Structure 1
Amino acid sequence: MEVKELIKLAKKGDDGAFYELMQLHKVRLLKIAISYLHNEVDALEALQEVTFRSYRSIKKVKQPEYFSTWLIRIMINYCHDQIHKKKSIADTSLLDNIAETVNYNQPLEIEEALEKIDAHLREVIILKYYHDLKIKDIAEILDSPESTIKTWLYKGLKALRDQLGERGGINV
């Protein structure tokens, strides 16, 4: 069955169709959660919460072609909320749980350099290069013009180069 048809059925209350949609998207959503939360347990909890939130508000999806973008946006918003909660409870770095992170085959230097650049720039880099999203999709998720996303990507890569250059690190 096509994704658009599944979305129509899910909007009408078909639990089976919603379940299939979530099965199609769960790996991508989990990867996004891990890249933000740096902890597999927290990422699984995020996936569970996003599933609940999307189930509760599936009827708000106006255009089926943007369903994936809508889900990713819910995940990113949830991850941002969790990061802010953790920072307010205890002033801990996102790298505290580095031993529990999934290996994306990038050197630790890149991970540390990413943490030191502006949040908007980091977010665009993560969505573009870790999750292989298109500029158009990133613009939709972050509710920003494509030109802004391109600028943030350019500035983010420059900042990343500068961070890695300070350490005598890898050329990006």
Structure 2
Amino acid sequence: MDIKSKLVKRAKKGDTEAFQMLIHEEKEKMYRTAYVYMRNENDALEVFQESLYKALNSIQTLKNNDYFSTWLMRILINTAIATLNKKQKIVPISNEMFDQIGDVKNIQSEEHLDLLQAMDEIEEKYKTVLLLRFYHDFTVKQIATFLDCPEGTVKTNIRRGLEGLRLKLKGVYLDDRQNSIV
């Protein structure tokens, strides 16, 4: 049994120190994911903290200790989506917002901004699978387990999400190239 599994086992028995050690490994990924959904540092922190609270209170329900990271990310994404639905707000992306974040997020280039805007415009199901696949490096099988759906559905959603991003970004970059030629 590896160290992580032992820590999860201890955390399930109520050892908050073991839970904190587990969270220490995951906190940066969790915050970044929350930020991608919320587009606002305060809201991302709120979702992050609420997710940790939910995870701590329900860690006993984790069936397979090996899926702790996946389970935790699922709680975070569900919390972010629920918060967005509850607040029903759309936050436009602005350069000022990213300047406040500083070096921690390292999202300063225009390409990243364009990508984040395009991600905001695609459906949630596509955004979720793309984040899990390319941002968190989960396999298709892990994503299928995580989302409780068939692997074929995950592959389809990844493909459709990428197509949607290509279409949205293609227009931006083609327009820029055409304007620079004129």
TM-score exceeds 0.5: yes
One-letter amino acid of the counterpart of residue 87, structure 2: K
Tell whether the 8 Å contact from 2:93 to 2:117 is kept in structure 1 after alignment.
no
Return closer, same or farther for 1:110/1:96 CA change in 2, 3 Å cut-off: closer
Are 2:123 and 1:100 aligned? no
In structure 2, stretches of 5+ residues that fail to align are 99-104, 177-182
**Quick check: 56-65 or 16-25, which moved more?**
16-25
Larger proportion of helix: 2
Query: Aligned equivalents of 2:112 and 2:29: distance in 1?
Result: 22
Aligned AA (2:69) = S
Structure 1 residue aligned with 2:73: 72
Deviation of residue 93 (structure 1)? 2.1
Larger relative contact order (CA 8 Å, sep ≥ 6): 1
Aligned to 1:33: 34
1:128 match: secondary structure = helix
Q: Which runs of 5+ in 1 are unaligned?
A: none
- TM-score where L is the length of structure 2: 0.81
Identify the residue that residue 52 of structure 2 maps to in structure 1: 51
Alignment of 1:133 with 2:111, yes or no, is: no
Q: Which residue of 1 aligns with 2:116?
A: 111
Aligned length: 166
CA RMSD of aligned residues (A): 2.1
Structure 1 counterpart of 2:4: 3
Identity of aligned residues (%): 36
Which letter does structure 2 place at the counterpart of 1:48? Q
In structure 1, the partner of 2:43 is 42
